[in-house]
């Protein structure tokens, strides 16, 4: 008899799943992922919110026999908003595909300019913050600090929220003639949108005064850590006397990439992660990534490491997030000065991406980031020297934060003290931050 009851229960469960609407199936899948994997810092557990948002879904789906995915998407958006965790959110199918392409270093899905833009309050148009290497924007000569104010003879809308959609609509029509403000001048830039590589690797500029500018726009691109070590070696060989490391607007990426990159300046990095399944430990030293978890240890050779020994300062701003915050913390903990604005505020968790039935996905905080002594990292990094990243000044041709860093580096080299971080061993997995 018990076996028959179990069989009947399984049959009823299978039938209930089969009869569930698309919205209910999506909600159930998402809740299972959140309950199973969430290990973030929210004061509210996903399981404690399930009944509330099930009722909300039932309300939205009332009278709809085939309630669509879109209703569940609304509910999931409200649920993750209540969690209030910057590393946990719903991703549309288009956004999930974009994230996957970025982490694989692939081309953009659609033709585009290959430029990162920002609306600045009080300024017309769209400010250029970054151009992708070999993209239409870079090849046309667009650069950081330019402002796009018109396209194909039409001025960008005054309403801030309409500017990017307006430009995107023009991009879809083919060749563009952009009206651009650069400093105090005005110029026209012609380009044709096309698919471009989403790889954003670090770059090095050697100034005449002997200061090397190392720009790290992202930690999502594969081989970022290896590239940082190669550029540090280049700067050393060419006699650079000091270095500015710029992680402004860097939204993060792979924990392995930012950890290995930090080792080029501090020698060793280590971090512990507390997830639902227990504790893992990672470290990078001597070109090898060590991992330890569940009583097992692994070592993976990555590359021949380099080490910067001269004066250095790190630039960060309020849009430096996740792995960029990890990187800045590692250097700051080693005695290196960080200058700029308090960072985004997701520096104490890691996140992973999970596909959903509708083609979208969930980004979920899957562990808390701990220092080697077991204490939780702060949610955001506070720079040693607070200095606003003045985008209005940038639009006028001045990078005020960079200017302040260059002034700081004129202090005798003995003013910079570096201390090595103790070593540890961590388990090999792939996490993002």
Rounded CA-CA distance 408/96 in Å is 41
In this prediction the pTM is 0.87
Nearest alpha-carbon partner for 189 in 111, 115, 87: 115
Number of helices (H), then strands (E), in the chain:
12, 19
Rounded CA-CA distance 359/355 in Å is 7
Alpha-carbon distances of 239 from 150, 206, 243, rounded to whole Å: 43, 9, 11
The predicted structure's pLDDT at residue 4: 52
Give the three-state DSSP class for 342. Answer: coil
Contact 350, 362 (CB under 8 A): no
Length in residues, the chain: 433
List the domains of the chain with CATH numbers. Answer: 115-191 (2.30.42.10), 203-349+366-415 (3.90.226.10)
Mention every residue, 6+ apart, whose C-beta is less than 8 A from residue 69.
Answer: 22, 23, 26, 357, 358
Regions of the chain with pLDDT less than 50: 1-3, 5-18, 411-431
Rounded CA-CA distance 40/387 in Å is 30
Rounded CA-CA distance 240/168 in Å is 41
The predicted structure's pLDDT at residue 396: 93
Q: Say how many Å lie between the first and final Cα of the chain, rounded.
A: 51
φ, ψ at 169 (rounded to 5°) = -65, -40
Q: Alpha helices of 114-217 — where are they, by DSSP H?
A: 136-139, 160-171
Residue 17 burial (CB count, 10 A): 11
Mention every residue, 6+ apart, whose C-beta is less than 8 A from residue 178.
Answer: 142, 148, 150, 151, 188, 189, 190, 191
Tokens encoding 189 = 């830039």
């Amino acid at each position: 008899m018990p076996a028959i009851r179990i069989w009947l229960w399984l049959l009823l469960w299978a039938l209930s799943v089969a009869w569930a609407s698309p919205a209910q199936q999506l909600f159930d899948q998402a809740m299972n992922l959140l309950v199973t994997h969430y290990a973030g810092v929210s004061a509210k557990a996903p399981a404690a919110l399930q009944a509330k948002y099930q009722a909300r879904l039932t309300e939205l789906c009332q009278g709809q026999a085939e309630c669509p995915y879109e209703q569940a998407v609304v509910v999931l958006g409200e649920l993750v908003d209540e969690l209030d965790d910057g590393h946990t959110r719903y991703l549309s199918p288009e956004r999930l595909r974009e994230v996957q392409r970025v982490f694989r270093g692939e081309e953009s899905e659609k033709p585009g300019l290959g430029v990162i833009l920002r609306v600045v309050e009080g300024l017309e148009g769209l400010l250029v913050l970054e151009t992708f290497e070999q993209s239409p924007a870079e090849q046309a000569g667009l650069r950081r600090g330019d402002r796009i104010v018109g396209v194909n003879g039409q001025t960008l809308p005054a309403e801030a929220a309409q500017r990017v959609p307006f430009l995107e609509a023009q991009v879809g029509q083919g060749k563009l003639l952009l009206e651009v403000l650069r400093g105090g001048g005005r110029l026209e830039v012609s380009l044709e949108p096309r698919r471009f590589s989403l790889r954003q690797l670090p770059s090095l500029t050697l100034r005449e005064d002997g200061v090397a500018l190392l720009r790290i726009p992202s930690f999502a691109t594969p081989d970022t850590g290896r590239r940082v070590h190669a550029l540090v070696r280049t700067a050393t060989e060419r006699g650079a006397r000091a270095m500015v490391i710029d992680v402004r607007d860097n939204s993060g990426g792979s924990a392995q990439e930012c950890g290995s990159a930090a080792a080029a300046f501090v020698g060793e990095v280590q971090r512990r992660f507390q997830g639902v399944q227990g504790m893992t430990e990672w470290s990078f030293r001597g070109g090898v990534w060590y991992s330890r978890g569940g009583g097992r240890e692994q070592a993976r050779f990555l590359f021949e490491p380099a080490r910067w020994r001269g004066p250095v300062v790190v630039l960060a701003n309020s849009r430096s997030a996740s792995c960029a915050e990890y990187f800045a913390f590692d250097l700051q903990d080693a005695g290196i000065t960080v200058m700029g604005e308090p960072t985004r505020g997701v520096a104490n968790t890691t996140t992973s991406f999970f596909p959903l039935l509708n083609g979208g996905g969930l980004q979920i905080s899957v562990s808390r980031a701990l220092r080697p002594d077991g204490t939780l990292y702060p949610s955001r990094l506070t720079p040693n020297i607070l200095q606003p990243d003045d985008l209005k000044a940038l639009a006028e041709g001045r990078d005020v934060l960079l200017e302040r860093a260059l002034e700081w580096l004129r202090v005798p080299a003995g003013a910079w003290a570096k201390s090595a971080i103790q070593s540890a061993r961590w388990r090999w997995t792939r996490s993002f931050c």
